[in-house]
Amino acid sequence: MFKHYKNGIAILILLFLLSVVLIACNSDTDEAESEEPDNTEETEDPVEEETDDGAEEEEEEPASDEPQSGGTLTGAMDTAPAGVFNPIFYEEAYEDNILAFTHESLLSQNENLGFEANLAKDWTINDDNTEITLTLEEGVTWHDGEPFTAEDVVYTYKAMASPGYVEAGGVRTEYVVRLVGYEAFNSGETDEFEGVVVEDDYTVTFKYTEPNVTILKDVAFPIIPEHIFGDVPVAEIPSHPATLNAGEVIGTGPFVFSEMLEREQYVLTKNADYWKAEPYLDQIVWRIVDQSVMLGLLENGEIDFIADPNGVPAADYETVAALDHIEIIEQTDFGYQLMGFKTNHRTDADVESGTIEPDNWVPNEDMSEQLVRQAFAYAIDRQAIVDNLLYGHGSVINAPIAQQFWAYDESAVTAYEYDPEKANSLLDEAGYVDTNDDGLRETPDGEEWVVNINYPTGNQLREASAPILAQFIEEVGVQVDLRQPKEMTAYVEDLTNDNTDWDIYLIGWSLGSGDPDPSGLWKSEAAYNFGRWNNPESDQLMLEAMQAPEAFDQDYRAEKYSEWQSVFSEDLPALLLYAQNKIYGFNERLNGVAPMPYGFINDPHLWWVSE
């Protein structure tokens, strides 16, 4: 090491002397001469380079404090947006990458996921949380120069409550169903929507039929312009030019969606009149780049950042980290992968009619045994999966609430650390022992016991985890039937119509950052409760956590969720495998980046590039 260092210095001196000689010799042939020293510098020792870098940094330092205006930034995503650039109709994360620059909500979420002022500067909520009155920022204009007013807010919610909204392809009804007068307006009985009311140009009131625990989340939906869509029938909004075409999509955000080369490039140009402050960047260009080429382009500087929804693959982390000009931000994703147990199955009749009625469910033998589920949890080394499949870029979680939420409580849950001994003893205790000495456990009735595992294709990590899980379970003496993976759409159909023989299923969820309420996935009647887990205590706790007036107090909710998490963790309807990390990679010339827990794009008007 030291020797190399010495050699390096020697070579350096030699090269320096040589270049001096060369300069002296060739002082007349200036072209060749000016190139020579450059070349020698490149071949020089790292020591020299370090001092070089140091000098550059010093030079750049004053510049890097002071944001510079101008410049273009290029981002990459691996799949093109479907092309519906309208907050009330889009459904994919890829559109999000455009709409996050162009549209804004009344409230935004801070790094602790609390709601704070955005287009609304102030708000008051009445005592029983049925009404919220928001005061809007004045002087905000749409990209086309029209003023932003309370009418736009009313219009946005009214559009989502209109009859025909769902039929036209909209899915965001969760934001409006609880508003006063939704039923009457949606069924077409009346033209008046009482749920959202204009007080004056810059004041708007939302009225809910019931006390609303998640009132702030419900008013934080991106606003669309009334003066553009006001006269358009809701069924025509998805195919309206202001929804589809670059240059015609109008929002209030810091960037204007100005040009596109469909499925290849999406150009956002700065909105010089942005109400918060003029953005530093002139342009942000999204390029659609194949996953396999993305890192190469990041390396050679053709693209500047890789962010949501997929980020840098965990397997490539080291490669990207080794690039000097690329910075990495890593944070936990909302969402998790799980190994679910089909504790119950529905009856044929219920599947046929689409009813979800826990009273009719048929317990799935063996999987309905709590001890068996716990034993499987102990049998699986999840940390090893995180370390090897995710290269350590993820975490083992034990409760189905995103770790970023105030509601997540690690202390309330059983950790289920890898313990095959314990798994064996739990299975013995449950009566699943090897009675015929074939090395495999039989059911308590002495019958052959085979546990089937079903999983979908599409997510490579999940696909890779299935055989590993099967192996872990086999190691505690259980015969496993690892079924052929199915394509996602076909898989979901089988998962939903669960009058089958399924025991274990794999699935992943990406969760919203708005509110931690887990009832949409784990309540017994919830359609997405694919395990058909039926635990009255869990249902009760989730209900209480959302029940007014106690639930207005976040601490109270946190307490209920903590209890719920311990119930979940003990009864274990599903073993949560891992929460993956988001890995954002960006060129060091990009400054001012401050990702939020839920996304990379935050205050892009403060982003700037140093050239």
CB of 146 to other proteins, least distance (A): 24
223 near 148, Cβ under 8 Å?
Answer: yes
User: 346-374: b or e for each residue (b if 16 or more CB lie within 10 Å)?
Assistant: beeebbeeeebebeebeebebbbbbbbbb
Which stretch in 144-152, 219-227, 443-451, 503-511 sits in contact with other proteins by CB under 8 A?
503-511
539 near 298, Cβ under 8 Å?
Answer: no
Closest CA to 586 of 384, 306, 386, 358: 306
Which stretch in 199-207, 284-292, 533-541, 602-610 sits in contact with other proteins by CB under 8 A?
284-292
Query: Can residue 73 be called a binding residue for other proteins (CB under 8 A)?
Result: no
Query: Can residue 267 be called a binding residue for other proteins (CB under 8 A)?
Result: yes
The count of other CB atoms within 10 Å of the CB of residue 390 is: 21
Maximal C-alpha separation, the chain: 99
SS3 532: coil
CB of 529 to other proteins, least distance (A): 10
Query: Can residue 260 be called a binding residue for other proteins (CB under 8 A)?
Result: yes
Which stretch in 168-176, 345-353, 363-371, 428-436 sits in contact with other proteins by CB under 8 A?
168-176
Nearer residue to other proteins within complex by CB, 511 or 551: 511
The count of other CB atoms within 10 Å of the CB of residue 424 is: 19
- Contact string 288-307 vs other proteins (x = CB under 8 A): xxx-xx--xx-xx-x-----
Query: Can residue 352 be called a binding residue for other proteins (CB under 8 A)?
Result: no
Interface pick for other proteins out of 108, 265, 310, 540 (rule CB under 8 A): 265
User: Which residue type is seen at 234?
Assistant: V
DSSP letter at 356 equals -
Which stretch in 40-48, 239-247, 375-383, 409-417 sits in contact with other proteins by CB under 8 A?
239-247
What does the block give as tokens for 539? 């249902």
Nearer residue to other proteins within complex by CB, 79 or 370: 79
Query: Can residue 172 be called a binding residue for other proteins (CB under 8 A)?
Result: yes
SS3 73: strand
SS3 594: coil
Query: Can residue 262 be called a binding residue for other proteins (CB under 8 A)?
Result: yes
Which stretch in 240-248, 343-351, 444-452, 566-574 sits in contact with other proteins by CB under 8 A?
240-248
Q: Measured between alpha carbons, how far is 574 from 530 in angstroms, rounded to an integer?
A: 10
Query: Can residue 187 be called a binding residue for other proteins (CB under 8 A)?
Result: no
Q: Measured between alpha carbons, how far is 305 from 286 in angstroms, rounded to an integer?
A: 10
CB of 237 to other proteins, least distance (A): 8
Query: Can residue 348 be called a binding residue for other proteins (CB under 8 A)?
Result: no
Q: Measured between alpha carbons, how far is 427 from 369 in angstroms, rounded to an integer?
A: 10
Which stretch in 202-210, 286-294, 315-323, 567-575 sits in contact with other proteins by CB under 8 A?
286-294
Query: Can residue 42 be called a binding residue for other proteins (CB under 8 A)?
Result: no
User: 322-335: b or e for each residue (b if 16 or more CB lie within 10 Å)?
Assistant: eeeebbeebbbbbe
Site for other proteins, rule CB under 8 A:
80, 82-84, 89-93, 166-169, 171-174, 237-239, 243-244, 246, 259-265, 267, 287-290, 292-293, 296-297, 299-300, 302, 354, 487-490, 492-494, 496, 507, 509-512, 514, 520-521, 527-528
